[in-house]
Amino acid sequence: MKPEARPFLSHPFDDDKLKEECGVFGVIGVADAANFVALGMHALQHRGQEAGGIVAYDADQGFNSAHRFGYVRDNFTKASLMETLPGSLGIGHVRYSTAGSKGAVIRDVQPFFGEFAMGGCAIAHNGNLTNANALRRELIERGSIFQSSSDSECIIHLMARSIQKSLSERIKDALRRVEGAFSIVAMTRTKLIGVRDALGVRPLVLGKIGDHGYCLSSETCGLDIIGAELVREIEPGEMVVIANGKIESSHPFGAPNSRFCIFEHVYFSRPDSIIGGRSVYETRRQIGVELAREAPVEADMVCPVPDSGTPAAIGYSQESGIPYAMGIIRNQYMGRTFIEPTEQIRNMGVRLKLNVNRALVKGKRVVLVDDSVVRGTTSRKIKDMIIDAGAASVHFRIASPPTAWPCFYGVDTPDRGKLLAANMTEEQMREWIGVDSLKFISLDGLYRAVGEAEGRNNARPQYCDACFSGEYPVAPSDQIESGFVMKLKAAE
Q: Mind telling me the catalytic residues? A: 22
**Residues with Cβ within 8 Å of residue 19, at least 6 apart in sequence:** 96, 98, 411, 412
Name the CA dihedral angle for 341, 345, 350, 354, rounded to a multiple of 10 degrees.
-110
**Residues with Cβ within 8 Å of residue 87, at least 6 apart in sequence:** 33, 34, 56, 57, 58, 59, 61, 64
Cα–Cα dist 67/55, whole Å: 9
Cα–Cα dist 419/427, whole Å: 15
Cα–Cα dist 416/412, whole Å: 12
Number of H helices, E strands in the chain: 18, 23
Sign of CA dihedral 461, 463, 469, 471: positive
Do residues 231 and 206 touch, judged by C-beta distance below 8 A? Answer: yes
Residue 199 phi, psi (nearest 5):
-95, -10
Cα–Cα dist 241/301, whole Å: 52
* Residue among 250, 243, 248, 278 at smallest CA distance from 262: 278
Do residues 422 and 380 touch, judged by C-beta distance below 8 A? Answer: no
Cα–Cα dist 236/112, whole Å: 23
Query: Whats the size of the chain, residue-wise?
Result: 492
Cα–Cα dist 63/118, whole Å: 14
Instruction: Kindly state the DSSP code that residue 276 receives in the 8-state scheme.
Output: T
Sign of CA dihedral 435, 19, 442, 408: negative
Cα–Cα dist 125/153, whole Å: 9
